Structure 1
Amino acid sequence: MFSNRFNRLTVAAIALLGTAIATVPGGVMAQTPDHPADTAAQFPTRNDLKALTTSGSYLAARHASVERDAASAAAFYRSALRSDPKNNELLDRAFISSVADGDIDEAVKLAERILTIDKTNRVARLVVGVHDLKFKKYATAQSNINQSIRGPITDLVATLLSGWAAYGAGDAKGGVAAIDKLTGPEWYPLFKDLHAGMILELAGKEKDAGVRFERAYKLDDSMLRITEAYGRWLSRNKDSAAATAVYQAFDKKLARHPLIQEGLRETKAGKKMPPLADSAQAGAAEALYGIGATLTRRGGEDLALVYLQLALYLQPSHPLALLSLADLYESVKRPQMAIKVYERVPSSSPLKRNAQIQLAVDLDSADRTDEAIKILKGVVSEDSKDLEAIMALGNLERGRKKFGDCGATYSQGIDVLPAGNDKANSVWYYYRGICEERSKQWGKAEADMKKALELQADQPHVLNYLGYSWIDQGVNLDEGMKMIKRAVEQRPDDGYIVDSLGWAYYRIGNYEEAVKNLERAIDLKPEDPTINDHLGDAYWRVGRTLEAKFQWAHARDLKPEPEELPKIEAKIANGMSDDNSNSSAAQAEKKKDDGKGG
């Protein structure tokens, strides 16, 4: 939703989030800095909970929190709370975990208990206030929301929500006045004018609404929701040409955004588009989504999660809020949670296709590759020219070493590329070349690599791949070495490319230079088994046999490809013969599996 300008403006404000996040006990999303892998743990059953003591439930809840499994954490904390109902820490943690899980109805019950103990708990006030707003209890909604203020972010959210509650109560003028009264950072007016305009729009004050939308648009014409709100207003109050111009201007900045494309289709057809929000609840959801989405990757994940879940409580099918929540889960390494959220995006939304593509990526990361491929093929079947979906499918197949399949998929994309010599097209030929090389079609692979360089002459990964392949085959040695050196000049800190240079020296028998460059590659990528294996071979050739065996042992422990493990173990046991037959050179092409290096 937000432009780069807005993101720069918010950096300082988000640095002040400590006071707001401090109201969230334990840090919902930031329990640990280690970002543990998604374990896809099973939700606890009733029998599981019955069998646990209070301390057992608490420990289980803490573990679930560390694993960022909000659903299990909430269940375990509530179980512990039933055994120890006067424990305020358990009450706080059960409440926050319920909010994080999106179980707002349960969170409201816990929040009401918290407020009998601590009337100043701001997150509890916010949650109860949003609940009241949802059920049109506007007076109590305003009262609770106004008591949730603390810091620049929460001040803005509370003021916008209170304004929408005032509109719901029939006082649009008062709601707008309260928004206008708020003062704060330079980026406040973007939100103030957008939401004041939306309230005025629904109150029938179309002319006044247009003034607000135009002012917000002039402040930042690269904000998606401002562009949409203004474009929709123009379609109803001016003419379709004016609305189309606004959408086209955005499209030049960020091409092919699905919501902008929808706006262009509608306005070009002369249709009058409805307001962005049609109720106080929808407007409040927009406010919560808009600010929550901005915080997801800027150190404010805890507060972002609260805002996004509350937005979805008000509007369960809000596509942008769903995508932002899924993105947040991905950023904290919870693909299973992201999958569930992407599946909730309505089929009728223009953003469904985007959700499907990202859903497939997450399914693949969860080793549900067949499902992922099926989804992507379905997306491509709906639009055979969807280059983003075709690329995603090809990348998934390449990552899973389905080299015959990915070559065909990239060909499908190449066949529908726009005419011309756009250097951005280089990547299609590069990726197809990798698939062809790995499926033993070197002639085709070489032609595609050359085509990629024709489109983008100094692309370091293509230079590296083609140069290394030539040296590996004993052809074009001088040109191949020059290519790799050019790649290293551009990417001196890329361990894979530096490894290629070292291994190229090894292949031409310059073992001293090989050692020097491979040691540098190890410094850059110490965890890569292939680079460790290469360095072991080079050490052996210069007579450093003990170091060679140490390096091979390290390569073995770093989980190399299954077919490489017995070769490495044989070298550890017996060393290397003089003919290179048991060196990693004999299988060097195996390394080139994903385009990362030679």
Structure 2
Amino acid sequence: MALIAALMAGLALPAAAQQRPEPRPGDDAPAAQAKAPQAPLTFGLAGPYLAARMATVENDFGAAARYFVQAVAHDPSDRYLQDSALVSLVSAGEIDRAVKLSDQIATEGDPTELSGLIQRAALAHGGDWQGLLDSLANKPTGAAIESDLLDGMLEAWGLLGAGRAQEALQKFEDMAKARSVAPMVNYHLALARAMVGDYEGADSLLADPATGAHLLGFTARAEILTQLDRRDEAVAMLDSLEGIEAEPQLLALRNRIADGEPVSFDVVKTAADGIAQVFLTLATALASSPEPEPLSLIYSRLAVWLSPDSAEARLMMAQLLQEREQFHLAEPEFEALRRMGQMRPIAELARIDALSRADHRDEAEKAALALTAAYPDLPQAWMALGDLLRQQEKFNKAVPAYDKALALLEDQPPEAKWFPLYARGIALERAGQFERAEQDLLAAIEIRPDQASLLNYLGYSWIDRNENLDRGLEMIQKAVELSPDDGYIQDSLAWAYFRLGRFEEAVEPMERAIGTMSQDPLVNDHLGDIYWMVGRHREAEIQWKRALSLEPTDAGDVDADRVRAKLERGLDAVLAEEKASGNQPKGSAPIAEPQASNHN
């Protein structure tokens, strides 16, 4: 599939930079350029083509498909536009339209690698095994080696679908002689052997870690051992897996086997499922490579199309869509997994984190609530919910979530508790329950005495409350030693000096903080106050004006009206007015707060 990969790599570039896909290193350059479809330059195509390219850069597959299809209508013979439309259609999940376009391309007599792949997937989807074998027999010569591997496995599964089991197994065995691909091919050979009832042969292949040491491999082998009435071996194998408690499907299978319940081999039920496994294997390999290729989404889409009940394929596709921030396309796939009873806690936690980071807080909270409902005994689910509520400043609601997480962690080692203690301490402090917050923060520091942001939070909180001043300052100073480049902690140190009246000492750390956080209105406001107190009034006014220009919000602890008052009357006058009215503002909370993904 070298041509497809080159095409898709080209689609990731800005339109002006793309003239034609570049050959891969090692390709014969003239030949590769001759094969590669050239980007259209026809003026009449400019509108839909440029719109399609922009949509592609933004991973908006639906829009890209719409515009590329419009471009193809302008020039139905342009192979570049045809393949681009196919890429977008499949990525958007519009596979029936992609099949129709692929058939049209074939009718015109000039198929591309991608159109051929989609046609073969369609033949498998329809159970036309002889048609699939004929298509593979008539493919163009000189295909790339990865295309030979893919088509070889498609042929083997096609032979099995056509009832020619012995030929299918022989095809897999011949392909497995190539050492570089032997583990991948042997995995499929094991599935094929199990499908035809050769469980002993399948087990001997999956027992090799190079072949079967992955989630589906463990699942398949456990089912196969059960067919051989070797349930004890299956249970022992599953019990030996590190982290099995985070894989509820494996745990459920283990318990069914141990309890003597009926267990069938159903990793693959049909040859179409086998081909879906081929696509899933390739999607997984591409997605886990140092530089994941867009083809991984194409393969995972085709895998789900061929085997809609494959939870692994659906999860892969959902995660790939999520990585591309196509949450509206990913959410139906996650919802389907929930309906199938295939919600995966680890994947859900990653999904919740991704939604939160993309500022889809409502969807993230909904996902976290669903996870706590599905797995009420999973502390990480309650921690994720607490983090989301805390980040939305729903502090009183976050505390019970952390309470539940810590209750579930009661018998765990202390190291597992420091982060939820820290996070609950923040929620409690922000909710005005400082005595409880202080207890949590001290308990967390006892577990993690060198955690910089933790030391910073409690130290600053004490100074802000005019309590434990010396110890609080020591904590912040230690935090600075541990993380000298952390602008947030430098801000805390400077502001602690300010609160203690040590204005000259506050200047240097605050200037360091502003060097790394020049766009933060609160840090600019703090620096203005410090400059004022050391007599640098003009510079103070500049910093306050900058703070206002950054459009501060109440959530950022900057009172814009107070900043304007300082500009009009000076900080001394504002402080005197506040003291006279008895309405002195509480200091801002420490800026540095923990994130759910940073508690290891």
Once the two structures are superposed, residues 320-372 of structure 1 have per-residue CA deviations (whole angstroms, 9 ceiling, x without a partner) of: 22222222222223333322332232523332666766666666667765565
CA contact (8 A) 2:396 2:431 kept: yes
CA contact (8 A) 1:25 1:92 kept: no
Quote the residue 1:114 is aligned against: 105
CA contact (8 A) 1:540 1:576 kept: yes
Q: 140, 156, 175: which is aligned to 1:163?
A: 156
CA 1:449–1:567 in 2, change beyond 3 Å: closer, same or farther? same
* Structure 1 position 186, deviation (Å): 6.8
Q: Which ranges in structure 2 are unaligned for 5 or more consecutive residues?
A: 16-43
Quote the residue 1:302 is aligned against: 294
* Structure 1 position 226, deviation (Å): 1.6
Quote the residue 1:37 is aligned against: none
Quote the residue 1:41 is aligned against: none
* Structure 1 position 18, deviation (Å): 7.1
Once the two structures are superposed, residues 10-68 of structure 1 have per-residue CA deviations (whole angstroms, 9 ceiling, x without a partner) of: xxxxxxx97651043743x6769xxxxxxxxxxxxxxxxxxxx9654334333332332
Give the SS at the match of 1:344.
helix
CA contact (8 A) 2:488 2:592 kept: no
Quote the residue 2:265 is aligned against: 274
CA 1:267–1:571 in 2, change beyond 3 Å: closer, same or farther? farther
CA contact (8 A) 2:246 2:346 kept: no
CA contact (8 A) 2:375 2:381 kept: no
The CA distance in 2 between the partners of 1:187 and 1:434, in whole Å, is 52
Task: Map 1:251-270 to 2 at 5 A.
Answer: 252-253=242-243, 255-270=245-260
Question: Is 1:128 aligned to 2:102, yes or no?
Answer: no
| Amino acid paired to 2:73 | R
* Structure 1 position 386, deviation (Å): 2.5
Question: Is 1:443 aligned to 2:435, yes or no?
Answer: yes
The CA distance in 2 between the partners of 1:284 and 1:112, in whole Å, is 20
Quote the residue 2:54 is aligned against: 63
Task: Map 1:147-546 to 2 at 5 A.
Answer: 147=139, 153-182=146-175, 188-215=181-208, 217=209, 219=210, 222-250=213-241, 252-253=242-243, 255-271=245-261, 272-296=263-287, 298-351=290-343, 369=361, 372-374=364-366, 376-546=368-538
Give the SS at the match of 2:218.
helix
Task: Map 1:39-58 to 2 at 5 A.
Answer: 55-58=46-49
The CA distance in 2 between the partners of 1:529 and 1:175, in whole Å, is 67
Greater Rg over alpha carbons, structure: 2
CA 1:519–1:186 in 2, change beyond 3 Å: closer, same or farther? farther
The CA distance in 2 between the partners of 1:145 and 1:520, in whole Å, is 65
Once the two structures are superposed, residues 532-585 of structure 1 have per-residue CA deviations (whole angstroms, 9 ceiling, x without a partner) of: 3323333333344444334334433434323623333444555422775789x9
Once the two structures are superposed, residues 123-150 of structure 1 have per-residue CA deviations (whole angstroms, 9 ceiling, x without a partner) of: 2221111111111222442454584996
| Amino acid paired to 2:332 | K
The CA distance in 2 between the partners of 1:391 and 1:253, in whole Å, is 19
Give the SS at the match of 1:435.
helix
| Amino acid paired to 2:424 | R
* Structure 1 position 111, deviation (Å): 2.1
Give the SS at the match of 2:157.
helix
- Range that drifts further, 355-364 or 467-476: 355-364
CA 1:472–1:205 in 2, change beyond 3 Å: closer, same or farther? same
CA contact (8 A) 2:220 2:265 kept: no
CA 1:514–1:112 in 2, change beyond 3 Å: closer, same or farther? farther
Q: TM-score, normalised by structure 1?
A: 0.83
* Structure 1 position 168, deviation (Å): 1.2
Q: 555, 572, 576: which is aligned to 1:577?
A: 572
| Amino acid paired to 1:256 | A
Q: Which ranges in structure 1 are unaligned for 5 or more consecutive residues?
A: 1-16, 33-52
- Range that drifts further, 291-300 or 112-121: 112-121
Q: 559, 567, 592: which is aligned to 2:562?
A: 567
Give the SS at the match of 2:260.
coil
Quote the residue 2:20 is aligned against: none
CA 1:242–1:312 in 2, change beyond 3 Å: closer, same or farther? same
CA contact (8 A) 2:396 2:428 kept: yes
The CA distance in 1 between the partners of 2:451 and 2:116, in whole Å, is 55
* Structure 1 position 381, deviation (Å): 4.0
* Structure 1 position 414, deviation (Å): 1.6
* Structure 1 position 79, deviation (Å): 2.9
Once the two structures are superposed, residues 214-265 of structure 1 have per-residue CA deviations (whole angstroms, 9 ceiling, x without a partner) of: 12x3x37752122112122112214221111111122x24542122212222
Query: How many residues of Structure 1 are paired with residues of Structure 2 in the alignment?
Result: 556
The CA distance in 2 between the partners of 1:323 and 1:570, in whole Å, is 55
CA contact (8 A) 1:484 1:501 kept: yes
CA contact (8 A) 1:342 1:355 kept: no
Q: 24, 31, 54: which is aligned to 2:8?
A: 24
| Amino acid paired to 1:456 | R
Once the two structures are superposed, residues 377-428 of structure 1 have per-residue CA deviations (whole angstroms, 9 ceiling, x without a partner) of: 3543454322222112111111110000001211122222241443121111
CA 1:448–1:86 in 2, change beyond 3 Å: closer, same or farther? same
CA contact (8 A) 1:262 1:350 kept: no
CA 1:444–1:204 in 2, change beyond 3 Å: closer, same or farther? same
Q: TM-score, normalised by structure 2?
A: 0.82
Quote the residue 1:78 is aligned against: 69
| Amino acid paired to 2:105 | I
* Structure 1 position 283, deviation (Å): 1.5
Quote the residue 1:103 is aligned against: 94
CA contact (8 A) 1:30 1:302 kept: no
Give the SS at the match of 1:24.
helix
Give the SS at the match of 1:330.
helix
CA RMSD of aligned residues (A): 3.4
The CA distance in 2 between the partners of 1:513 and 1:116, in whole Å, is 79
Give the SS at the match of 2:337.
coil
CA contact (8 A) 1:25 1:96 kept: no
The CA distance in 1 between the partners of 2:511 and 2:491, in whole Å, is 9
The CA distance in 2 between the partners of 1:140 and 1:397, in whole Å, is 55
Give the SS at the match of 2:588.
helix
CA contact (8 A) 1:231 1:244 kept: yes
The CA distance in 2 between the partners of 1:479 and 1:327, in whole Å, is 46
| Amino acid paired to 2:248 | P
* Structure 1 position 429, deviation (Å): 0.9
* Structure 1 position 92, deviation (Å): 2.8
Once the two structures are superposed, residues 410-453 of structure 1 have per-residue CA deviations (whole angstroms, 9 ceiling, x without a partner) of: 11222222414431211111111001000111101000101112
- Range that drifts further, 443-452 or 383-392: 383-392
The CA distance in 2 between the partners of 1:301 and 1:335, in whole Å, is 19
User: Identity of counterpart residues, as a percentage?
Assistant: 30
CA 1:292–1:364 in 2, change beyond 3 Å: closer, same or farther? same
| Amino acid paired to 2:256 | E
* Structure 1 position 198, deviation (Å): 0.2
Quote the residue 1:13 is aligned against: none
The CA distance in 2 between the partners of 1:507 and 1:155, in whole Å, is 71
Quote the residue 1:558 is aligned against: 550
